[in-house]
Chain A
Amino acid sequence: MTKAAHAGEVGDLIVVVGHRVGESEQIAEILEVLGELPNERYRVRWDDGRESVYYPGSDATIKHATHRRSPRVER
């Protein structure tokens, strides 16, 4: 597996595709950029609220902040 080509910035989203049938993509927001290229890793918050340090592989795409999702509407 090779590393994702594009560096991310705080506020960008990382989308990790599912590798198995029925597995949905995982999405995380970059909270902090750690390390330097080519080995940048990120402190992220995943869709389920979990936070971790993530080092992306080739299955991860970085969507820059202009593509940020709309905030959730509390009902």
Chain B
Amino acid sequence: MTTRSTPQSLVDELERASIAYELIEHERTTTATAEARVLAVAPHEVAKTVVLTTPDGFVRAVLPASDRLDLGKLREILGTKDVELATEAVLAGAYPEFELGAVPPLTGGDGDRVLVDPRLCENEWVVLEAGTHEQSLRLRTSDLVGVTGASLADLSQD
């Protein structure tokens, strides 16, 4: 299998916003916790992005790799019970530039709403998948929130 490169839209967006970033190549990983392991960083410093379908479109929930998404909290935040995890078929259609399971919080999609768990903001830097399972993106958490226009919301199971 050949290494899939980071989608150009992702680095273009960061450079347009003059945001410092780091791209880190690594062996293929398919979970955020495995990504943390190969990069030798703590799981709470790695973010996973979960894409959800809602009546108002896609929502990307970004939380530490070490945490589990609380759908109940999310439904309360969004004010609707009609919130579901996006299926692989839906993800493939909506985000063709990204590998399945490697959708980052920014670019792609159609103005998706982004929610970031404040636990991530306890770290200055955050690592996330760069649209592929073989490259990670590292940037300041404050820049991630700024460039995505994210709202902070408690998304993790207690």
With beta carbons under 8 angstroms apart, the residue of A3, A20, A50, A54 that contacts B18 is A3
Judged by a CB distance under 8 angstroms, whether A60 is at the interface is yes
* B124 in contact with A53 (CB, 8 Å): no
* A52 in contact with B15 (CB, 8 Å): no
Give the total of A residues in contact with B, Cβ under 8 Å. Answer: 19
Judged by a CB distance under 8 angstroms, whether B11 is at the interface is yes
With beta carbons under 8 angstroms apart, the residue of A20, A23, A39, A56 that contacts B20 is A56
Q: How large is the interface on B (under 10, 10 to 19, 20 to 34, 35 or more residues)?
A: 10 to 19
- A residues near B23, Cβ cutoff 8 Å: 52-54
Given known A-B contacts A1-B143, A19-B124, A23-B124, A52 and B19 have beta carbons under 8 A apart = no
Which residues does A use to contact B, with CB under 8 Å?
1-3, 16, 19-20, 23, 39, 41, 50, 52-60
5 contacts between A and B (CB under 8 A): A16-B20, A52-B23, A52-B24, A57-B19, A57-B20
